[in-house]
Amino acid sequence: MNPLQLREDEIGRKLAEAEMSGELRAAEGYGKPMKEDAGWEQTPDEFRMGFKILKNAGVVPPEVELFHERAKLRAELETCVTEEDRTAVRLRLSELEQKISLRLEALRSRGSL
């Protein structure tokens, strides 16, 4: 059987269990239109639901996490004392920049950005 189908079946079972137990009806916003969060309109349509689920779960989207990591490395670079430390941080920053570029390019090539 297709692994994706297995996952969808599992999700369906969990939703059915939550509905039967009343847990689903007790959820905030059950049966109401979704509230639009800040940035909803700026988010590409194909990412909206996924990002909403991640946000509700308290999880940062992977791309945003990469940008946070980049900011930390840039701040770390400013505090480096030795040239050896600066070189090591620059290398990590360069690798991260490449990872970000590849990820964004993949999104663009799929027409997602």
C-alpha count within 13 angstroms, C-beta hemisphere, residue 16: 6
Of 31, 33, 35, nearest to 56 by C-alpha is 35
> Which amino acid would we find at residue 98?
Q
Residue 74 has pLDDT above 80, yes or no: yes
Q: Could you tell me if residue 50 is inside a domain?
A: yes
Confidence of residue 56 (pLDDT cuts 50, 70, 90): confident
Range of the domain at 67: 44-113
Confidence of residue 88 (pLDDT cuts 50, 70, 90): very high
Q: What is the pLDDT of residue 112?
A: 60
Is 100 domain-assigned? yes
Do 62 and 10 belong to one domain?
no
Q: How confident is the model at residue 61 (pLDDT cuts 50, 70, 90)?
A: confident
Question: Is 39 inside any structural domain?
Answer: no
Question: For residue 89, is it within any domain?
Answer: yes
Looking at the structure, tell me whether residues 51 and 105 fall in a common domain.
Answer: yes
Predicted pLDDT at 95: 97
38 domain-assigned = no
Please give the tally of structural domains in the chain: 2
Task: Evaluate whether residue 81 is within a structural domain.
Answer: yes
